[in-house]
């Protein structure tokens, strides 16, 4: 998270958010109605739009790098974008206030929340940010206490598959690696650095993970299950292949639902230690507390089952 900015407006009202993950942060902080341009789509993130119907009024940008002229025509008074986005310099040169945002771990996530809340300039955004920090810290402490007696070498080896076709996994130095460890596992792909790394089935077979977690948007695994390589994997033979929940944003990626992800992952990796964890009620309480949305039990179950709103 860089926080590199141009001169900013006080309480922006016409925001263009060009980083998918950051849209969720704005929604959680009460800024959905200020998003007037976005790269998000209801077809991609239906739960985000269910939680924040105001997003339907935003212009859907056709690409992640709109021209400065497009943003000016939309009367944008603030842009959020990753620093590497090719259009950032041109936005600043034309006088559009632009904030560079990105994060790769929970420390960066919290800094990004702090920055975003400050820019929104509302008491609500500041209060939600403080509350979220407390919730995340308490959740991590609870998990650490329950997992304290399990030696590192005895923890299950977990492989997170982002995409099935092409096959891509997440290695060390990622939030995925972080939640695997916080939930009591070891990243089977720890020898690889970074996210979205292409990999072969043969390499997965060499790792032979105890547990496989398929990203919520990873695609259908069935084409890969026809051959002997997949079927002989320890995780497959033992029925330890799981599909990751998707809420406002995929829980397993880069967003505030990380706090739910570590709890869900703990129930998958160590069901014997977390048998009393009711993820339906935890999920409902989280969205009520941080998104001001009352999920029904059925809606919570659909999120946990990687299903869109009914």
| DSSP code string of the chain | ------SPPSS-SSEEE--HHHHHHHHHTT-GGGEEEES--TTT-HHHHHH-GGGGGSEE-SSSS--HHHHHHTT-SEEEE-TT-TTHHHHHHTT--EEE---SSHHHHHHHHHHHHHHHT-HHHHHHHHHHHHHHHHHHHHHHHHHTTS-GGGSPEEEEEEETTTTEE--BSSHHHHHHHHTT-EETTTTSBSSSEE--HHHHHHH--SEEEE-TTS--SGGGSSSHHHHTSHHHHTT-EEEPPBSSSBTTSSSTTHHHHHHHHHHHH-TTTSTT--HHHHHHHHHHHHH-----HHHHHHHHTT----
User: What pLDDT does residue 73 have?
Assistant: 96
Give the percent of the chain with pLDDT over 70.
95
For the segment 143-190, what is each residue's pLDDT rounded down to a tens digit?
A: 999 999 999 999 999 999 998 888 999 999 999 999 999 999 999 999
- What is the per-residue pLDDT across 231-289, written as a single tens digit (0 to 9) for each? 999 999 999 999 999 999 999 999 999 999 999 999 999 999 999 999 999 999 999 99
Q: Spell out the domains of the chain, with CATH numbers in brackets.
A: 15-130 (3.40.50.1980), 149-270 (3.40.50.1980)
The region of weakest confidence among 51-65, 127-141, 290-304 is: 51-65
């Amino acid at each position: 998270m860089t926080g590199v900015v141009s001169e900013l407006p006080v309480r922006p009202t016409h925001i263009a958010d060009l980083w998918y993950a950051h849209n969720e942060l704005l929604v959680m902080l009460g800024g959905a109605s200020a998003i007037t341009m976005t790269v998000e789509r209801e077809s991609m993130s239906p739960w985000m739009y269910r939680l924040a119907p105001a997003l339907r009024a935003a212009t859907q940008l056709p690409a992640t790098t709109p021209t400065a002229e497009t943003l000016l025509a939309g009367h944008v008074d603030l842009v959020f974008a990753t620093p590497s986005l090719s259009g950032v310099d041109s936005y600043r040169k034309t006088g559009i206030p632009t904030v560079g945002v990105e994060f790769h771990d929970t420390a960066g996530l919290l800094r990004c929340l702090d920055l975003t809340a400050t820019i929104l300039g509302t008491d609500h955004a500041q209060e939600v940010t403080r509350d979220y920090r407390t919730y995340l810290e308490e959740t991590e402490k609870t998990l650490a206490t329950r997992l304290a007696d399990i030696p590192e070498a005895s923890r299950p080896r977990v492989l997170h598959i982002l995409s099935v076709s092409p096959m891509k996994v997440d290695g060390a130095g990622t939030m995925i690696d972080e939640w695997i460890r916080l939930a009591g596992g070891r990243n089977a792909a720890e020898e690889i650095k970074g996210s979205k790394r292409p990999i072969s089935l043969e390499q997965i077979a060499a790792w032979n993970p105890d547990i496989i977690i398929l990203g919520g948007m990873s695609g259908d695994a069935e084409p890969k299950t026809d051959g002997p390589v997949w079927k002989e994997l320890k995780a497959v033979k033992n029925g330890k292949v799981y599909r990751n929940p998707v809420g406002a944003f995929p829980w397993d990626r880069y967003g505030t639902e990380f706090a739910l992800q570590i709890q869900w992952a703990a129930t998958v990796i160590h069901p014997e230690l977390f048998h009393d964890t009711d993820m339906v009620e935890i999920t409902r309480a989280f969205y009520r507390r941080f998104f001001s949305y009352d999920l029904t039990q059925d809606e919570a179950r659909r999120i946990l089952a990687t299903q869109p709103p009914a």
